[in-house]
Amino acid sequence: MASMRDIKHRKSSIQGTQQITKAMKLVSTVKLQRARANAERSKEYFTCMYETVNSILERVGHVEHRYLASGNSQKKAVIVITGNRGLAGGYNSNVEKLVTRHPEWKKDDVVVYALGTKGRETFLRHGYEVKECNSDIVESPVYRDAMHIAEELLKAFANGEIGEIHLAYTAFKNTVSHVPTLLKLLPVEVSPESGKKESGPSAIMNFEPEDVEALDMIIPKYVTSLIYGALMEAVASENGARMQAMDNATSNAEEMISDLTLKYNRARQGSITQELTEIIAGAEAIG
């Protein structure tokens, strides 16, 4: 049996850890609330954007357009949104796995635009081609950040450097459920079932300027808004994941502490009993 001092020492070190995890949990709870409010406020914009773009594409049909056709390049650009910090359970590695374990993608064909230092480190370690991105923006993303990224990617797409653009992020369903998601940004694909519900107004929609020109202007906005939406959701998910991880850590620490307390008390009782026996035995020997 471990000595009383060892047990006491271990217990106090676990208590110290527990205090840290508890504090981290509180911090991420507050951050989560703010991030979730932001994500919800911006959701309306994306829903609208998505519906409008879908209804436009549906009407335009199979028009020849540079944003609707896959480029000649084999290269796929993937924007990977992770956190800048760890201690968030599987949050970072789940997103990374979407890319590293993708069944069809070869390492040489993928260009990673890593937002978040954790993701960047992983992909560099695995030997992917990683483009520099400003990772600070994942702390508190603003729309302008998404605009810069979209601009850069669209330029590369237009120049034929990349043939497809994908987005890997963690979708925020609710506080406890975050789903790693891979989304294809370009070329734009219309999902067949969408748009069916509103056959009325979209059937006679006019465009000013003409369809193709309108697409030229709307699709960059569409890409930007998707990136921005993903950033907002990812921030909320990161804090949610960290909150959960820290909650688990705190309750694990609690369990260990109660276990150690029991052991400590038992050892203490054992040592008292032993001392008593020794005293009595000594007294009897003298008497």
Partner 1 sequence: MADKNSFLLRIITPDRLFYENQVEMVEFNTTEGEIGVLPGHVPMTVIVKPGILDITESEGDKTAALHAGFAEILPDRVTILAEIIEWPEEIDVERAQAARERAEERLRSKTAETDMARAETALQRAVARIQVLR
Binding window for partner 1 (CB under 8 A); candidates: 10-18, 27-35, 42-50, 109-117: 42-50
50 binds partner 1 (CB under 8 A): no
Give yes or no for residue 158 binding partner 1 (CB under 8 A): no
Does 143 interact with partner 1 (rule: CB under 8 A)?
Answer: yes
CB of 52 to partner 1, least distance (A): 6
The burial of 257, by beta-carbon neighbours within 10 Å (0-12 exposed, 13-18 middle, 19 or more buried), is given as: middle
Interacting residue with partner 1 among 219, 228, 239, 242 (CB under 8 A): 228
Site for partner 1 in 231-260 (CB under 8 A): none
C-alpha separations of 226 from 12, 30, 166, 186, 259 in Å: 48, 25, 11, 11, 49
Q: Is the peptide bond before 187 cis (omega within 30 degrees of 0)?
A: yes
Q: Closest approach of Cβ 260 to partner 1, in Å? A: 49
Segment contacting partner 1 (CB under 8 A): 43-51, 68-76, 107-115, 159-167? 43-51
204 binds partner 1 (CB under 8 A): yes
Indicate whether 139 belongs to the interface with partner 1 (CB under 8 A). Answer: no
Is 194 a binding residue for partner 1 by CB under 8 A? The answer is no
Strand order in the sheet with 164-172: 129-131, 110-115, 76-81, 164-172, 178-186
Task: Using the rule CB under 8 A, give the single segment among 22-30, 186-194, 222-230, 238-246 that binds partner 1.
Answer: 222-230
Residues 6+ apart with CB under 8 A from 190: 54, 57, 58
Burial of 41 (0-12, 13-18, 19+ CB in 10 A): exposed
**CA–CA distance, 216 with 58 (Å, rounded to integer):** 16
Which position among 1, 2, 23, 48 is part of the footprint of partner 1 (CB under 8 A)?
A: 48
Q: Among 15, 207, 212, 263, which residue sits at the site for partner 1 (rule: CB under 8 A)? A: 207
Smallest gap from Cβ 191 to partner 1, in A, equals 19
CA angle 238, 239, 245 (to 5 degrees): 90
Return d(Cα 234, Cα 146) in angstroms, integer: 13
- Per CB under 8 A, residues contacting partner 1 are 38, 41-42, 44-45, 48-49, 52, 56, 143, 147, 201, 204-209, 214, 217-218, 221, 224-225, 228
